[in-house]
Amino acid sequence: MKRARAWFACIALASVSVFAIAPAFADGMPGGAAWGEGVVLVPSTWSGFYVGGHLGAALNQRAFTIQDLSGGDLSLPSPSEDQILIGLHGGYNWQVQQIVLGVEGDISFSNDANYLASIRGRLGIAPWDRLLLYGTAGAAFINLDEPFAVQSVANGPLTFNRNRSETGFVVGGGGEYRVLPNTSLGAEGLFYDFGSSSTLLSTPAAAASEPFVFKDDLNFWVVRGRLTYYFNDH
């Protein structure tokens, strides 16, 4: 059900995504500030609005541990799990000679993540027209369900589910290659840090109400491929 909801959300977002056309950059920087003397604005492969989709994986997203307070009866089997991600991204680039500055927003979905989103700045270099290499950093946002099972020696597996919403940061880098005048293929790696959470829980009363501390280190890497359409085909 969650996978279906993620697919429908992606289709809906794609169908309603509308990008306003930026004011013309006739003689300077955005807002009318003049370029410094000697700086030349060149026709660019990468300047302008863009939108696209991405597919990848969140590595070790479910990094759960427990501290048993009941005398060693409880354990947490298979605490780590990778998650497949699918999503959309869009943004705007400015290019001066080989330097590319940009801002990008993105949203992704997985089996457990109701959303994983970010707003990031990008700083890159275009060694030649078709290739862009960049670093990126910004704010990140997540809401996810955290289903897990605790194994009790006396009472067998006991299932739990938590919901967590966090704000953190993301940093990473990647590259894009222009395969058509308006289209690029790319790959990027992003590290998300949402901090750690510890919660005191207990098994149900029918399972002796055994206490334990549940800890979730919500820090993980995402690797993903990108397909991007640029509205400026220069």
Residues in Cβ contact with 78 at an 8 Å cutoff, skipping those fewer than 6 apart: none
Query: Which domains are delineated in the chain?
Result: 2-15+46-63+79-148+161-190+218-230 (2.40.160.20)
- How many CB atoms sit inside 10 A of residue 176's CB? 27
Rounded to 5 degrees, φ, ψ at 69 are: -105, 10
- How many CB atoms sit inside 10 A of residue 154's CB? 11
Q: If we measure between CA atoms, which residue out of 121, 132, 125, 133 comes closest to residue 91?
A: 121
pLDDT mean values, one per 10 residues, the chain (234 residues): 41 35 36 44 74 94 70 64 92 95 97 94 94 98 84 71 90 96 96 86 70 82 97 74
Residues in Cβ contact with 1 at an 8 Å cutoff, skipping those fewer than 6 apart: none
DSSP codes, 139-190: EEEEEEEEEEEEEETTTEEEEEEEEEEEEEEEEEEEEEEEEETTEEEEEEEE
